[in-house]
Amino acid sequence: MAAAEEGGGGMAVIRDKGEMRSWSRSRRKAGGGLALVPTMGYLHRGHLSLVEEAKKRAQFAVVSIYVNPGQFAPTEDLDSYPSDLQGTSVGWRRWGSMPSSAPPTFTTMGKAAALEGKLVSCVEDRGGEGAGHETWIRVERLEKGLCGSSRPVFFRGVATVVAKLFNIVEPDVVVFGKKDYQQWRIIRRMVRDLDFAIDVVGLEVVREIDGLAMSSRNVLLSPTERQQALSISESLLKAKVAVENGETSCEGLKASVTWSITQAGGRVDYAEIVDQENLGVVKRIRSPVVFCVAAWFGKVRLIDNVEISL
Amino acid sequence: MAAAEEGGGGMAVIRDKGEMRSWSRSRRKAGGGLALVPTMGYLHRGHLSLVEEAKKRAQFAVVSIYVNPGQFAPTEDLDSYPSDLQGTSVGWRRWGSMPSSAPPTFTTMGKAAALEGKLVSCVEDRGGEGAGHETWIRVERLEKGLCGSSRPVFFRGVATVVAKLFNIVEPDVVVFGKKDYQQWRIIRRMVRDLDFAIDVVGLEVVREIDGLAMSSRNVLLSPTERQQALSISESLLKAKVAVENGETSCEGLKASVTWSITQAGGRVDYAEIVDQENLGVVKRIRSPVVFCVAAWFGKVRLIDNVEISL
């Protein structure tokens, strides 16, 4: 993969754990802060906003690209998850061709490093370096509910792999998107509970022009499903407006969102209003909440949310 | 605690997480390696051997002193566990008065820092900074069996607090005693699985002149119990000799150790022969094993082990 080793805009591609750590340590020793953006590859403009934030917060940015088998259950869509791991620089090139949205800083980005999948594998039955892995991190309350209900091994996989990335990259800052709201809260809690010296930043959901939350899975939607999926963001926005106009009962709000998505042709996995901090289910809105939705369109499961801060 | 802040031999006592991390980072930036010796205080000569090893392996040594509530079940001996947390420097002074065993290097030790208990608490129902803690690390296979059977929350508490210490102290090397054999294996596995950049060193069991494994709990034994407790090390040594003379059947070896301890007045919690690496129970000895024992004498639970490498 000699081509990818070069990348563009001074980017370096690193594929070895020891090399990654040396790279980070030499930068930090020189005094430059270091920010990490963990991704599962297939980079889209939502990721770009994370990288932009990373570059604001630190002198150096590292983007990890890793489709983590540890967070997919055997029945889930690991195999169909869009991946460009075979060419880690594809995502960067894609950005390079988006002059209107890519800031000038992007092409002059000092250094960005991509870790590739197999080196941080922690799924024992796949053999290789991860063989025998048996250490798992659980954030016991926050991992329950929402996506944790329908994806029971998801968050232990996320927390464990993110901790590995922290120990390999040793960043000062890590940037997540709040589209994965529960993930963001879980990582914040893990960092606090385990005393990682890392600032966890969460960025607002980045949306397509019609409101659909950006996701690597969107490319899997048929044109019809793509249109139907707008029911998520549209109904969430309506719910937010309703709360701003005085509605406090969650039951009606949830029924309305579920109805809208179902009417459009989707299948709701959950539509839940929870406390922004502890993700506990809320019945009547009296403090800041987040309205979280997961829904299927065809074979694609999408998630989205809106924060509603009174 | 101004007195403790001074300590002896250039020792510093650090009680704040942020201060600890700054101290470590400034030393590591200057190029000196840093070794951590995690303890639960009440330091004895066994701990001293760990510190000596730490000083061989790194320019700076940090000793943490923390009686971890997270690894004691409600029914266990947290309250009676011998503690000198009220004067963290007591253990060091004790060493200072042991000219025959304390190496000259000890008193000229560059820096040693002690973290104190409450700052790294992770037991939520005690309130304070640890309130709401909900993140736990489990090493799922190794934590089962041996001490994990009779102390079900023990190793998740150990692994979690050790990970916190790693993130606070950021050492290059950590030194454990192999008296806590299962703990040592669990930490090695955790470090490998979570990619901590730390070398985990295990040191041989340090014994009193009559063979009793050194333990902070030994001071809780009555003179009679102290004498009875010798049955552990004596019977383990006999078992080792028997294996060296050709015995391979574990059943007889375990029965013999159990009998000896029971005859002496002890109550065996477990007497188990397991694989040195994965701690799986062995029936016939064909590869390196460790014979592990836990036994009660009065209200005191002691553990010991011998490695038997054919």
Beta-carbon pairs below 8 A across chains A and B: 73
Of B142, B159, B168, the CB nearest to A195: B168
Of B139, B163, B197, the CB nearest to A194: B163
Task: Answer whether residue A310 is part of any domain.
Answer: no
Do the Cβ atoms of A134 and B189 come within 8 Å?
yes
Task: Answer whether residue B208 is part of any domain.
Answer: no
- Is the pLDDT at A101 greater than 50? The verdict is no
Lowest-pLDDT range of A6-10, A63-67, A127-131, A229-233: A6-10
Per-residue DSSP letters for A30-87?
A: TT--EEEEEE-SS--HHHHHHHHHHHHH-SEEEEEE---GGGS-TTSSTTTS---GGG
What number of other Cβ atoms are within 10 A of residue A214's Cβ? Answer: 18
Residue A83 zone, left/alpha/beta (φ > 0; ψ -120 to 50; rest): beta
pLDDT of residue B74: 64
- Sign of the Cα torsion A164, A167, A169, A175 reads positive
Q: Are residues B23 and B170 in the same domain?
A: yes
Q: Are residues A193 and A271 in the same domain?
A: no
What number of other Cβ atoms are within 10 A of residue B259's Cβ? Answer: 14
Q: How far is A18 from chain B (nearest CA, A)?
A: 9
Residue B61: DSSP 8-state:
E
Q: Are residues A24 and A96 in the same domain?
A: yes
Task: Answer whether residue A246 is part of any domain.
Answer: yes
Task: Answer whether residue B66 is part of any domain.
Answer: yes
Q: Are residues B198 and B238 in the same domain?
A: no
Do the Cβ atoms of B194 and A17 come within 8 Å?
no
- Rounded to an integer, what distance in angstroms lies between the CA atom of residue B25 and that of residue B28? 5
Contacting B with CB below 8 Å, chain A residues are 17, 21, 29, 120, 122, 133-142, 159-160, 163-164, 167-168, 170, 189-190, 193-197
Q: Which long-range contacts (CB under 8 A, 24 or more apart) does B280-283 make?
A: B281/B145, B282/B250, B283/B249, B283/B250, B283/B251
Interval B234-257 mean pLDDT:
97
Q: Best interface-test mutation with B: which of A122, A137, A139, A169 has the largest number of B CBs within 10 A?
A: A137
Q: What is the CATH number of the domain that holds A111?
A: 3.40.50.620
Do the Cβ atoms of B141 and A134 come within 8 Å?
yes
Task: Answer whether residue A210 is part of any domain.
Answer: no
Nearest residue to A57 (alpha-carbon basis) of A41, A74, A34: A34
- Is the pLDDT at A40 greater than 60? The verdict is yes
> Catalytic one among B47, B111, B156, B189?
B47
What's the residue count for chain A?
310
- Is the pLDDT at A245 greater than 60? The verdict is yes
Domain boundary among B170, B203, B236: B203
Q: Are residues B227 and B150 in the same domain?
A: no
Task: Answer whether residue A138 is part of any domain.
Answer: yes
Can you give the C-alpha Rg of chain A in angstroms? 19
Q: Which residues of chain A neighbour B134 with C-beta distances below 8 Å?
A: 139-142, 189, 193
Q: What is the CATH number of the domain that holds B230?
A: 3.30.1300.10
Domain boundary among A203, A238, A254: A203
Type of residue numbered B96:
G
Q: Are residues B193 and B221 in the same domain?
A: no
Do the Cβ atoms of A195 and B167 come within 8 Å?
yes
Domains contained in chain B, number: 2
More confident residue, B290 or A101: B290
Domain boundary among A203, A238, A262: A203
* pLDDT digits 0-9 by tens, B197-243: 999 999 999 999 999 999 989 999 999 999 999 999 999 999 999 99
Q: Are residues B168 and B243 in the same domain?
A: no
Of A21, A135, A168, the CB nearest to B137: A135
Residue owning tokens 């914040």: A188
Of B159, B170, B193, the CB nearest to A133: B193
Q: Are residues B76 and B136 in the same domain?
A: yes
Residue B214: DSSP 8-state:
P
Q: Which residue of B has its CA nearest to A26?
A: B29
Q: Are residues B74 and B180 in the same domain?
A: yes
Q: Are residues A154 and A293 in the same domain?
A: no
Phi first, then psi: give them for residue A14, nearest 5 degrees: -115, 135
Phi first, then psi: give them for residue B213, nearest 5 degrees: -65, 135
**Which residues have CB under 8 Å from B1's CB, separation 6+?**
B13, B15, B87, B88
End-to-end CA distance of chain B: 51
Q: How far is B65 from chain A (nearest CA, A)?
A: 17
- Sign of the Cα torsion B165, B168, B169, B172 reads positive
Q: Which residues of chain B neighbour A142 with C-beta distances below 8 Å?
A: 134
Q: How far is A29 from chain B (nearest CA, A)?
A: 7
Of B168, B193, B195, the CB nearest to A168: B195
Q: How far is B278 from chain A (nearest CA, A)?
A: 10
pLDDT of residue B152: 81
pLDDT of residue B132: 80
* pLDDT digits 0-9 by tens, B94-146: 333 322 222 222 222 222 333 333 333 333 334 444 568 899 999 999 999 99
- Residue B249: domain span: 216-305
Task: Answer whether residue A265 is part of any domain.
Answer: yes
- Rounded to an integer, what distance in angstroms lies between the CA atom of residue A116 and that of residue A114? 6
Active site residue B47: yes
Residue B256: enclosing H or E segment and its boundaries? helix B250-264
Q: Are residues B120 and B253 in the same domain?
A: no
Q: Are residues A230 and A139 in the same domain?
A: no
Q: Best interface-test mutation with B: which of A36, A194, A198, A277 has the largest number of B CBs within 10 A?
A: A194
- Is the pLDDT at A104 greater than 90? The verdict is no
Task: Answer whether residue B211 is part of any domain.
Answer: no
**Banded pLDDT at A69 (limits 50, 70, 90):** low
Question: Catalytic residues of A, which ones?
Answer: 47
